[in-house]
Chains A and B, each alone.
Chain A
Amino acid sequence: MEQVLFRHNRPGRCVTISEYRAGGGFLPLEKALREMSPDQVQQRVIDSGLRGRGGAGFPTGKKWSFVPRDLPGPRWLICNCDEMEPGTYKDRVLLEANPYLLVEGMILACYALGVEHSFIFIRRGYETAATNLARAIAEARGAGLLGENILASGFSCDIDVHLSAGRYICGEETALMNALEGRRANPRAKPPFPAIKGLWGGATVVNNVESLANIPFIIAEGADRFRSLARIPEASGMKLFCVSGHVRSPGCHELPLGIPLSEIIDDACGGMREGSSFKACLPGGASTPYFTPEHLSVPMDFDAVARAGSRLGTGGVVVFDQNTCMVRATLNLVRFYARESCGWCTPCREGLPYVVRLLEEIEAGRGSLEQVALLQEHVRLLNHAFCALAPGAMGPVDGLLRHFEEEVVEHVIRGRCPFN
């Protein structure tokens, strides 16, 4: 299978810059600087159909196009590497194997956007990835691929690595900008949108690691080639799926978008563990509603997964077997979100602990049907939070009530967890 992001990977270690260049690395950058205008780079990314890999799936090129070309003042690019969604570790795997792809992708993005200074906002725990990036940036600078007058093209840009202080909310793009400015990581009100007024008041684009790492391939091979990588026509490109849970060999795999869920589990991960059968999974990280056996044939792409009632999210697939209590699994997830709320708005700060308590009561066998109804109400009401954290946190609760209501009610009726 053709690999885009993992093509330069070496088993068990990080690729070196000479290996990366020998494999064609930084040629797309040379090509773009020599032959393409910033608008052409942006147009090619728009044409490629690349959608943001950080969770929301917003078209990357379209996001770039929101930055007005004639806006005065400095503009910024931020790479969001604050990968903290439970069940998601694709950016870490990518950066531990090959940081150059991101560096090249960022330089290309800076060129397209007219950015002179960009940042990589990286999760505190990703020390190896941060070290790799620092080395890659230094090497690129030494090779004249980064800094002043890149490859004698007249274009200059630089990249700084910023180690996050470490909260889940820092992955929210406006909270990330606050954190980068040294403020509390609370999300900002929109509008104004970051493309108009973001970091330090300047126009700002925030892209995920994986999104940016796809750019060199798109520039080198063209938009059509990128689109054709996907398994289904409406999708485009490859996706890193990081699988965990009760499968035989969990891991991160680069697979075409639109691949059926069953193929990811059975072919890429060797199927379910001995004695396990598939009960449910989170298709795209901890904030997505569950998939059940009826969804195993769903093509794993943004729109197809949305039509099936969930979200592709980050592509972090967490698989649960028949012995998993879905109430307890959901409780575990919502506890994480309740803890990671920034505390800015009431629905998130107070509503999530409320939901945790409801799930705790149900799991402990003290629940009532009124509480199940209250849980249902919270799925709806938490949509009115300030940012997407609380609605996301309710994803698994939503899935729980849609697909496993019987199991929830069984907790209430038997007065105990049926899995105990």
Chain B
Amino acid sequence: MPKLIIDDIAVEAAEGVSVLEAAKSVGITIPHFCWHPALGRAGACRVCAVKLLDGPVKGIQMSCMLPAQEGMVVSTTDPEAVALRRQVIEWLMINHPHDCPVCDEGGECQLQDFTIACGHGTRRFVGPKRTHVNQELGPYISHEMNRCIQCYRCVRFYQEYAGGSDFGVMGSAGKVYYGRFESGQLESPFSGNLVDICPTGVFTDKTARFRARYWDYDMAPSVCPGCSVGCNITPVARYRELLKIVARRNDMVNGWFICDRGRFAPKGVNAPSRPRTSLVDGVKTGREEAMDALLRRLGEVAELYGEGSIAVVGSTRLSQEGATLLPLLAESISAGALSYGLSAAESRASSGAISMLTLENGASIADVENADCIAIYESDLREEGPMLLLAVRQAWRRGAPVLLVGENSPLEQVRGVGIEAVQLHYMEEAPLAIFERPVVIAGMRHGDPRVMAVLDRSGARVACLFPGPNGHGAALLCAEHGGIPLEEALAKGKVKGLVAVEADIPAELLAGVPFVASLDWRETAAVQAASVVIPTAAWVECDGTYVNFEGRAQRFSRVMKPGLPIKELDPACHPPRIHQGDPPGGDILPSWQVMIEMIRLAGEKVPDGPFSGSWANLTSLDPEGEGEVIRGRCRRDS
């Protein structure tokens, strides 16, 4: 641990870090463009200049390139260093178009920040600006090359980190160009990270173009609902409309990046057709009335068809709060069947997985990145967990062989991240025992439950890709409360009354059920078939918890108030004449609160909150923390 002095502050730096990182550790931000924590040093931009006053190296040095060493005395404020940093910014600004007023990056732009920080203000260069022709990069990312400061971050991420081959750097000298050989949609499933990683506005999110400024954003720490990986994200909303999603750093999960599916897909929150008001037989009504009607009709069903004719169905996208209350709701309405919406195959695979996983043998993304051999068992990671593919690539770059096991592990998935893999038929063929840190990534959709249940015997750490963002949590609760697969709950024809809580039930399974009630924010088949609909808050509109594939419980926070987006309001409603607590269409509760209300109306004892008993420790989860790993609680031998 070298000890050095930076701006009169004694710093004990971690082994192998640069002076720039050492300074960062004590709160000194040295301007930087090409250096990025995930991509490392490049030494290209030259803006992180500092002056070494004493020690093993002296004079002006680039702090990103210089390892922190014992006895260094570093000044970030030395006039010579300040002058060079100012000059570097002046050079970078020679060709920058200064179009901040029409640039989406304005307000969250590193170039703006560091230009101010470095003190460059007056243009001394008298020549014209170099201009470029932009490319059409598809529906998600807009390209504005004139803003480019040539930090090489984009190409280093795209080619080296993500293994893409259709985007790169062309030309030389003052005509360096970052783009594709010709216009066309970026092929990498991680292309959206260019938006986050670009220190200025070359790559911006086309789907949110010209919609809001940074200081207008509604945002909060959140978790991606796209799959079971549980990447940390920051959804950005304004006027009750979800505008875009940016990656949020969590080194225990997704690092700095997220996949394109997670970034660009989940805009269903904005769907005009989503349920916003309670309905009874298609007629708008208050929530209380709807709940009354729901309970009354369930009573009628029970009277008519007898015990066991009512089922409660949740899902793997229901937050852990909702999933925990589901059994209590089922009990309060005397439901005979409880399901977490898992198919029979998913149920078998999930229960095999949770009975096998322990705190020790489960693999996190970090374990995947550090693995020395990776077997992908019966999974197409592009579908089941794209970010794991990026992690697999980092391991592969360090020399780990990648094995694709089974007929449902297509070779195309690894080609998308530019790596080579060996295809095998059976898990038994994978020579995991000869490696020190092997990891198996197992898919739930096609994985054989018998194989899943014994993966721990391979000596590898195991990552099981549960369906849905809370599949792991749902599987744990399902095991605890005797939940049954969806087909089993509905197919017998016995169920005559159904309460679907954020459940995606195929229409054909609903056909034989006379009474359907649905609590949801999506317009699902159950909502369409339901006599009673009670809208719930979407994930960005409430706090909640998802348990990801590795069993890490992560809290997400409310980003925006529920309610109709302003742009969908009748002009007469805007600006609002009467100021009230809830915006129009905003009388919506999270599903778990709706369930508590129903339990109360049913006359049962109401729990204090969603988590009690063995789940109480989830109450205090920090949305900005690393989450808490809870896997292994249903281990078969525990």
Interface residues of A (CB under 8 A from B): 167, 169, 184, 189, 338-347, 349-354, 357, 360-361, 370, 374, 377, 381, 384-386
B125 interface residue (CB < 8 Å to A): yes
Tell which of A167, A354, A361, A370 touches B172, judged by Cβ atoms closer than 8 Å.
Answer: A167
Q: Kindly list chain B residues whose C-beta atoms are within 8 Å of the C-beta of A342.
A: 172-173
Partner of A345, one of B44, B95, B171: B44
- What's the minimum C-beta distance from A197 to chain B, rounded to whole angstroms? 15
Q: How far is the CA of A23 from the CA of B41 in the complex (A)?
A: 53
A345 touching B174 in the complex, CB below 8 Å, given contacts A357-B126, A357-B127, A384-B84: no
A384 to chain B, nearest CB (A): 6
**Nearest-CB residue, chain A, relative to B170:** A184
Residues of A within 8 A of B45 (CB): 345-346
List 20 extra interface pairs beyond A357-B125, A357-B127, CB under 8 A.
A189-B43, A338-B174, A339-B173, A340-B173, A341-B174, A346-B45, A346-B150, A347-B88, A349-B91, A349-B173, A349-B176, A350-B91, A350-B92, A350-B94, A350-B95, A353-B94, A353-B127, A354-B91, A374-B124, A386-B44
- Residues of B contacting A377 in the complex (Cβ-Cβ under 8 angstroms): 87
Distance between Cα atoms of A357 and B91 in the complex (Å): 13
Contact code string B88-100 (vs A, CB < 8 Å = 1, else 0): 1001101100000
A184 to B172, CA, bound (A): 10
B505 in the interface, Cβ–Cβ < 8 Å?
no
Nearest opposing residue in chain A for B46, CB measure: A346
B257 lies within 8 A of chain A by Cβ: no
Measured between alpha carbons, how far is A370 from B126 in the docked complex, in Å?
12
Tell me how far the C-beta of A356 lies from the nearest C-beta in chain B, rounded to whole angstroms: 9
**Majority secondary structure of chain A interface residues (helix, strand, loop or mixed):** helix
Partner of A346, one of B88, B173, B175: B88
CB distance from B558 to the nearest CB of A (A): 43
Instruction: Decide yes or no whether B161 CB sits under 8 A from chain A.
Output: no
B227 at interface by CB-CB < 8 Å = no
With known contacts A338-B174, A340-B173, A384–B60 Cβ distance under 8 A: yes
CB under 8 Å from chain A, chain B span 559-599 = none
The docked-state distance in angstroms from the alpha carbon of A384 to that of B51 is 12
- For residue B65, CB closer than 8 A to chain A, the reply is yes
Complex Cα spacing A35 to B43, Å:
47
CA distance A381 to B83 in the complex (A): 9
**How many angstroms between the C-alpha atoms of A353 and B94 in the bound complex?**
10
Given contacts A374-B124, A384-B60, contact A346 B47 (CB under 8 A): yes
Q: Which of B42, B83, B175 contacts A343 (CB 8 A)?
A: B175
Residue of A whose beta carbon sits closest to that of B89: A346
Contact A189 B65 (CB under 8 A): yes
- Measured between beta carbons, the chain A residues less than 8 angstroms from B176 are 343, 349
Q: Complex Cα distance A338/B49, Å?
A: 23
C-alpha spacing A384/B60, complex, angstroms: 8
A-B contact pairs, 29 of them (CB 8 A): A189-B41, A189-B42, A338-B174, A340-B172, A340-B173, A341-B172, A342-B172, A343-B150, A343-B171, A343-B172, A343-B176, A344-B44, A346-B44, A346-B47, A347-B88, A349-B91, A349-B173, A349-B174, A349-B176, A350-B95, A350-B174, A353-B174, A357-B125, A357-B126, A384-B46, A384-B60, A384-B84, A386-B43, A386-B46
Q: How far is the CB of B128 from chain A (nearest CB, A)?
A: 9
Q: How many A-B residue pairs have CB under 8 A?
A: 81
The chain B residue sitting closest to A344, CB to CB, is B44
Q: Is B556 an interface residue (CB 8 A)?
A: no
* B173–A345 touching, CB < 8 Å: no
Q: With both chains docked as a complex, state the minimum distance between the C-beta of B123 and any C-beta of chain A, in angstroms.
A: 11
| Interchain nearest-CB distance for B512 vs A (Å) | 64
User: Which residues of A sit under 8 angstroms from B83, Cβ to Cβ?
Assistant: 381
Q: Are A384's CB and B49's CB within 8 A? A: yes
Neighbouring B residues of A341 by C-beta, 8 Å: 172-174
Interface positions of B from 35 to 53, Cβ below 8 Å from A: 41-47, 49
B295 interfacial by beta-carbon distance below 8 Å: no
Q: How far is the CA of A322 from the CA of B385 in the complex (A)?
A: 73
**Interchain CB contact under 8 A, A354 and B88:** no
B152 proximal to A (CB < 8 A): yes
Give CA–CA (A361, B65) in the complex, Å. Answer: 36
A contact residues around B173 at 8 Å (CB): 338-343, 349, 352-353
What's the minimum C-beta distance from A378 to chain B, rounded to whole angstroms? Answer: 8
Q: How far is it, in angstroms, between the C-alpha of A184 and the C-alpha of B62 when the chains are bound?
A: 23
For the complex formed, measure the closest distance between the CB of A119 and the CB atoms of chain B, giving whole angstroms: 23
Contact B125 A354 (CB under 8 A): yes
Residue among B49, B150, B173, B175 with most chain A CB within 10 A = B173
Return B93 CB to nearest CB of chain A, in Å. Answer: 9
A189 CA to B35 CA in the complex, in Å? 13
**Chain A residue with minimal CB distance to B87?**
A381
In the complex, what residues of A have CB within 8 A of residue B103's CB? none
Cβ contacts under 8 Å, A349 to chain B: 91, 150, 173-174, 176
What B residues does A352 contact at CB under 8 A? 173
A343 pairs with B88, CB closer than 8 A: no
Contacts of A361 in B (CB 8 A): 126
Instruction: Report the Cα distance A381→B60, complex, angstroms.
Output: 10
B169 adjacent to chain A (CB < 8 Å): yes
Most buried by A among B83, B88, B150, B174: B174
Q: How far in angstroms is the closest Cβ of chain A from B66?
A: 11
Which 6 pairs between the two chains have the least Cβ-Cβ distance? A350-B91, A343-B176, A341-B173, A357-B127, A343-B172, A346-B46
| A184: chain B residues within 8 A (beta carbon) | 169
